[in-house]
């Protein structure tokens, strides 16, 4: 038996680092703080890889009946009843071990990259403290043994996301974006909490191990109960999904993610591309058994939400000019893919392709999207602008960034034998098995993805050279090395034997490349690339004319379908006018008025009678004597007559 006791260190080290840098960071030199944080993250990465190797490849995780969930560490934190107790612990199963690898790899790369990107920024130590806090929360989230522990860390990643988006706290737009992100996800987490409460009320447990047993799960006992035409399980699971949709920025809760790009670019790479935003996918995968067996209607909803979001975001991405926003919408679109894959997945054997594909795509997407963001950061670092219109012809000045960015674009477009090709193909296969409509949507999105990524690529690295303030230069090696590492991962992570590692029933299965689906999807990807080549490789007026020809539709898409405006309308006009204003009127004119009236009456009465307190001692004595005499007379009168 292999011991996994050291896995406790994986979340604890970043926590210690957060406390060290948070409390004592300002006494350290900025570079020291950065190196310290990176070194701790390096140790965590080594431990995560060790865990993965021992769990998957040495046989530490393989039981008689497929992979087992190991719990190397656990203690009871709050014990309510014998069955309802909240524990904190570390759970290792295929998806959590896989997430450890993703998070530690991307986090380490971002730590190293930030040494160069954030150099000379005010609050460098604070930045590393927050990065450590985020890493701690995210690792704790994936290692959670029960849904309540997950919820705690879920909120912690929300807080660290808030802190990092608002890192440039002097910039009003960054403050607004951080508040928006926090409020929107917090609103979604409200649903998550309700879902947890409903689930635990009926099942009496928080434990993932108990909840996700297909045969013996206590969820089965609540199957008969229904509320307003929907079973209670479905209610609970749709509320839980609401939390996941908020964190993963699924439509209609996606509005915070594009604005979150106000944070420093490495943060966008770590939190808003690779790790935190896939927490929702991870949550659905974690509770997949419950969704699949007892809330199949909600699973269908997840599939459609995912499909819609991926199409919706891909269309918007085509029109955006800010490179980080293009990437943000691309992230939305890719997460939509993962949600869709989970939504269409079955349970046993090859039926579980969708589940496997979602996790596979999560893994490959984390690598190439982090690479895209870090590459974009490198470009922004060189030209000091986020806008595509102020870039062009950069391939000559930044060769490393150019090549790695190209690799990432090819990967996300699904060019054969790069990692994105394999994972996206599995998703399309799973979608095809389930529903032709969903497949058609995702097929279209694959083409759109290739198009908008290469529009970005050609605009930045080819096209017309702009007038730069100073000649753009390649970034220092601390920034290019992470790019190269991630490019390597983007190319080769597709060869990981995911079907042997991750499946809903935790048994290895075989799946073969489905050429009938792979070839058309590659072709549409190439078509997208070709179209972008024609339109954007050389400076031309065609794209502008096409945009003008589309008129109102283009404007609508450019403004992100006015979803933000709809939210503003709903909150400002509807909620504020119909709910908040009447309530505030009631508060001011009824509640406050009552209290004011009490105070006024007291005041008026005391004004009238304060003359009695004259300070004349003998006046008091006389009153007192008169009172006593009066009382005696009264007593005599009544007692005498009785």
Partner 1 sequence: MLHTIPLHYFLIVGTLMFFIGVAGFIIRRNLITILMSVELMLNAVNINFLAVNRYLYPHHLEGHFFTLFIVAIAAAEASIAIALIINIYRRFSTIDVDQVSDMKY
**Under the rule (CB under 8 A), what is the footprint of partner 1?**
610-611, 613-618, 621-622, 625
First CA to last CA distance, the chain = 97
Using CA atoms, how far apart are residues 286 and 330, in angstroms rounded to an integer? 24
In this structure, the number of other CB atoms found within 10 A of the CB of residue 585 comes to: 10
Smallest distance from the beta carbon of 631 to partner 1, in angstroms? 15
- In the complex with partner 1, the residue whose CB is nearer, 471 or 616, is 616
Cα dist from 588 to 183, 479, 579, 580, whole Å: 26, 57, 14, 12
Measured CA to CA, the distance from residue 114 to residue 110 in angstroms comes to: 6
Please answer whether residues 111 and 74 qualify as being in contact, where contact means their C-beta atoms are separated by less than 8 angstroms: no
Helix 296-319 vs helix 323-344: angle between axes, to the nearest 10 degrees? Answer: 160
Closest to partner 1 by CB, 513 vs 632, is 632
Residues 149 and 87 sit within 8 Å (Cβ to Cβ)? yes
Residue 584 or 613: the one with the smaller Cβ distance to partner 1 is 613
Give the three-class secondary structure for 391. Answer: coil
- Distance in Å, CB of 642 to partner 1, minimum: 25
Rounded Cα gap, residues 108 and 595, in angstroms: 58
Cα–Cα dist 40/226, whole Å: 49
- Please report how close the Cβ of residue 172 comes to partner 1 at its closest, in angstroms: 53
Q: In whole angstroms, how close is the CB of 630 to partner 1 at the nearest point? A: 14
CB closer to partner 1, 552 vs 611: 611
CB 622, min distance to partner 1, A: 5
Minimum distance, C-beta of residue 598 to partner 1, in the bound complex (Å): 21
CB nearer partner 1, residue 516 or residue 611 = 611
- List, in sequence order, every residue forming a beta bridge with 350; answer none if it has no partner: none
At closest approach, how far in Å is the CB of 606 from partner 1? 9
Minimum CB–partner distance for residue 612 and partner 1 (Å) = 9
The one-character DSSP state at 66 is: E
Closer of 540 and 613 to partner 1 (Cβ): 613
Which of 462, 360, 382 shows the shortest CA–CA distance to 374? 382
The region that residue 293 occupies, defined by phi over 0 for left and psi between -120 and 50 for alpha, beta otherwise, is alpha
> Looking at beta carbons only, is 417 or 620 nearer to partner 1?
620
Among 172, 338, 165, residue whose Cα is nearest residue 257: 165
Nearer to partner 1, 76 or 623 (CB): 623
């Amino acid at each position: 038996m292999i011991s996994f006791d050291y896995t406790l260190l994986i979340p604890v080290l970043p926590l210690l680092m957060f406390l060290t840098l948070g409390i004592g960071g300002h006494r350290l030199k900025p570079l020291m703080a950065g190196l310290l944080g990176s070194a701790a993250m390096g140790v965590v990465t080594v431990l995560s890889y060790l865990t993965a190797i021992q769990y998957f490849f040495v046989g530490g995780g393989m039981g008689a009946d497929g992979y087992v969930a190991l719990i190397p560490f656990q203690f009871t934190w709050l014990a309510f009843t014998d069955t309802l107790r909240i524990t904190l612990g570390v759970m290792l199963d295929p998806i959590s071990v896989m997430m450890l690898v993703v998070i530690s790899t991307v986090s380490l790369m971002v730590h190293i990259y930030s040494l160069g990107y954030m150099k000379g920024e005010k609050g460098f130590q604070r930045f590393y403290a927050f990065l450590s806090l985020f890493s701690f929360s995210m690792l704790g989230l994936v290692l959670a043994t029960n849904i309540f522990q997950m919820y705690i860390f879920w909120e912690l990643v929300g807080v660290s996301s808030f802190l990092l988006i608002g890192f440039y706290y002097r910039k009003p737009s960054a403050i607004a974006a951080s508040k928006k992100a926090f409020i929107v996800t917090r609103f979604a987490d409200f649903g998550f909490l309700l879902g947890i409460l409903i689930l635990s009320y009926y099942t009496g447990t928080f434990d993932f191990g108990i909840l996700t047993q297909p045969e013996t799960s206590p969820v089965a006992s609540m199957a008969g109960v229904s509320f307003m035409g929907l079973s209670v399980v479905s209610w609970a699971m749709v509320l839980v999904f609401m939390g996941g949709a908020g964190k993963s920025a699924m439509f209609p809760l996606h509005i915070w993610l594009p604005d979150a790009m106000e944070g420093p670019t490495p943060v966008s790479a770590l939190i808003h591309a690779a790790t935190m935003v896939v927490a929702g996918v991870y949550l659905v995968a974690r509770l997949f058994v419950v969704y699949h067996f007892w809330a199949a209607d909600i699973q269908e909803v997840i599939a459609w939400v995912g499909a819609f979001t991926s199409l919706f975001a891909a269309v918007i991405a085509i029109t955006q000019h800010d490179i980080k926003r293009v990437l943000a919408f691309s992230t939305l679109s890719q997460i939509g893919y993962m949600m869709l894959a989970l939504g269409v997945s079955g349970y046993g054997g090859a039926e579980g392709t969708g589940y496997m594909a979602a996790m596979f795509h999560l893994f490959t997407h984390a690598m190439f999207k982090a690479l895209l963001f870090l590459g974009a950061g490198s470009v922004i670092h060189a030209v000091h602008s986020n806008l595509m219109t102020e870039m062009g012809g950069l391939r000559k000045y930044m060769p490393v960034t150019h090549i790695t960015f190209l690799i990432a674009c090819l990967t996300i477009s699904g060019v054969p034998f790069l990692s994105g090709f394999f994972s996206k193909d599995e998703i399309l296969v799973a979608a095809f098995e389930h529903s032709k409509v969903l497949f058609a949507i995702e097929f279209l999105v694959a083409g759109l993805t290739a198009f908008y990524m290469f529009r970005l690529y050609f605009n930045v690295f080819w096209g017309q050279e702009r007038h730069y303030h100073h000649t753009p230069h390649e970034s220092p090696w601390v920034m290019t090395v992470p790019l190269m590492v991630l490019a390597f991962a983007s190319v080769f992570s597709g060869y990981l034997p995911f079907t042997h590692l991750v499946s809903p029933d935790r048994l290895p299965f075989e799946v073969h490349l489905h050429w009938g689906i792979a070839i058309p999807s590659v072709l549409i990807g190439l078509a997208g690339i070709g179209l972008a080549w024609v339109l954007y490789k050389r400076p031309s007026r065609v794209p502008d004319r096409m945009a003008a020809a589309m008129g109102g539709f283009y404007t609508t898409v450019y403004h992100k379908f006015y979803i933000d405006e709809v939210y503003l309308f709903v909150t400002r006009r509807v909620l504020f006018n119909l709910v908040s204003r009447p309530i505030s009127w009631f508060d001011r004119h009824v509640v406050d008025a009552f209290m004011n009236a009490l105070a006024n009456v007291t005041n008026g009465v005391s004004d009238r009678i304060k003359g009695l307190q004259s300070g004349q001692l003998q006046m008091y004595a006389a009153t007192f004597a008169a009172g006593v005499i009066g009382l005696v007379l009264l007593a005599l009168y009544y007692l005498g007559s009785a």
